[in-house]
Amino acid sequence: MAKNLTILGSTGSIGVNALKVVDNLGSALQVVGLSAHTNGELIISQARAYRPQRVAVSDPATARTVEKALAGSGIEVLAGPAGLVELAADEAADICLNGLVGAAGMEPTVAAVKAGIDVALSNKESLVMAGDLITGIQRRSGSRIFPVDSEHSAIWQCLTGEDQADIRRLILTGSGGPFRTRARETFGAITATEALNHPNWSMGRKITIDSATMMNKGLEVIEARWLFDLPAEQIAIVIHPQSIIHSLVEFTDGSVKAQLGLPDMKLPIQYALTYPRHAPARWEELNLVRIGELTFSDPDLEKFPCIGLAYAALKTGGTAPAVLNVANEEAVYRFLDGEIRFVDIPNLISAALEHHHQQDADELETIRQAGAWAREFARKWRPSGTPG
C-alpha cells in the first residue's frame, strides 16, 4: 500500500530532490501535500504533476496567485504561516518531510509531531531550537523522527541493531567547506560569492554559508544530541574533505561503524522514506577505487569559532541553542546582503549569547520569545568600532 507523503518546502533544494525520490519509488509513495514560500511558478507545476490534496503557500501574496492558477483543480490552497502549520499536522499524511529552511521549520515540526505523524526531518533548526520540547511531545504522541541530514542518516544506519548503552561516541564528518585550507588572516576579505561556492554539496544559500562558517556542523552536533539522546561530550567532529564517509559510530569495545555514499541528498531522503528497507535506485554508484583516497583531520576551532559557540550553547541548554540558531540565521542574511563581514558572523552570535537571559525551553511560547529577542538583537547589532 502506498505511503502518503507531505513535503514541506517542496520548491527548495531538499524538496526538489524529494520529488526525484518520489519518481524513483513510483507507486510506493503518494504525495498528499506540498508547500512553498514564494516560488509560485514551481509549486503550481509541482501541484499539477503530483496532484496533492492540499498545498500550503506561506507568503500570502504568492498564495493568491497559486490559488487562482489551481482554481477548479480540486487542490486546496492554504495560505500564510498558519496554513503551513495546518498542512504539517494534516493526518492524511503517514509521513511529513520537513525540508524548510531555518527557524521557520520549527513550528511545522512541532505540529506534525503533536499530530502523531512521523517526520522525515531535514530542517535541523527544529531540534536545535526545540529539541527538549519536541522529544517530550514525541514521547506522548508516538511520532517518530527519521533524520534526513546526511550525517544523522549515517549514524542512524550505523545504529541499526545496536544497543544505546554500547555507544562510546558519535563522530560527525564535515567537508570543512570552501575555506578549509584558506589562511585565517585573509578571512576578513571573504566575499558572499566565495562563501556560496561549496566544494562537494549543492545546497540552498543559507546552509551553504553555514557550511563555510562551519556553524552547520555545530548545529548538527546539537541535532545529534536530541536525535540520539547523547550528551555533547559524546559527540565529536572530524574533517573529511571528500564527503564520502557521512559519519561514524564508535562503540565501547573500540569497534567503529561508518556509512559511505556519494554526496547526494537523494540517498538519505529516500532512506528516511523507505526505512527500515533500502529501495533500488538508478543514481550514480560509489566507486571507491575512482575516489582512491579518504583523508581526515581535526576541525580548526580558531578559524571556525562557530563550532565552539554551538557546543557552548548546547552545554548552557534551555533557550541558548534557539538564540544561537536565530542569531546565526540573521547574521547569515546580513552577510549575504553585504551589511556585515564573514568574520562578524561568529562575533554577532557570541554577543547574542552573552546578552541573552537563558530560560528553560520546554514551552513553545518561551522558545518563540527567545527567537524573537535574538532576531531583534541580531538586526540591530553593529561590529565594534562602527557607528551605530
Which residue lies nearer to Mg ion by CB, 107 or 151?
151
Which residue lies nearer to Mg ion by CB, 151 or 250?
151
Nearest residue (beta carbon) to Mg ion: 149
Question: What sign has the CA pseudo-torsion 180, 191, 348, 104?
Answer: negative
| x/- map, 52-91, Mg ion, by CB under 5 A | ----------------------------------------
Picking from 46, 316, 181, 370, the residue whose alpha carbon sits closest to that of residue 55 is: 46
Distance CA 55, CA 52 (A): 7
Q: Would you state the cell numbers that stand for residue 132, as one nine-digit string?
A: 527538549
Q: Is 329 in the site for Mg ion (CB under 5 A)?
A: no
Provide the minimum distance between the beta carbon of 129 and Mg ion in the complex, in angstroms, as a whole number. 17
Which residue lies nearer to Mg ion by CB, 90 or 149?
149
> 202 and 13 in contact (C-beta within 8 Å)?
yes
> What SS3 class is residue 250?
strand
Which residue lies nearer to Mg ion by CB, 151 or 330?
151
> What SS3 class is residue 199?
coil
Which residues between 140 and 159 bind Mg ion (CB under 5 A)? Answer: 149-151
| x/- map, 93-132, Mg ion, by CB under 5 A | ----------------------------------------
Q: Is 264 in the site for Mg ion (CB under 5 A)?
A: no
Q: What is the DSSP string of 53-122?
A: SEEEESSHHHHHHHHHHTTTTT-EEEEHHHHHHHHHT-TT-SEEEE---GGGGHHHHHHHHHTT-EEEE-
Provide the minimum distance between the beta carbon of 140 and Mg ion in the complex, in angstroms, as a whole number. 29
Which residue lies nearer to Mg ion by CB, 30 or 259?
259
> 367 and 133 in contact (C-beta within 8 Å)?
yes
Provide the minimum distance between the beta carbon of 372 and Mg ion in the complex, in angstroms, as a whole number. 27
> 361 and 309 in contact (C-beta within 8 Å)?
no
Provide the minimum distance between the beta carbon of 124 and Mg ion in the complex, in angstroms, as a whole number. 7
Provide the minimum distance between the beta carbon of 150 and Mg ion in the complex, in angstroms, as a whole number. 5
Interface contacts to Mg ion, rule CB under 5 A:
149-151
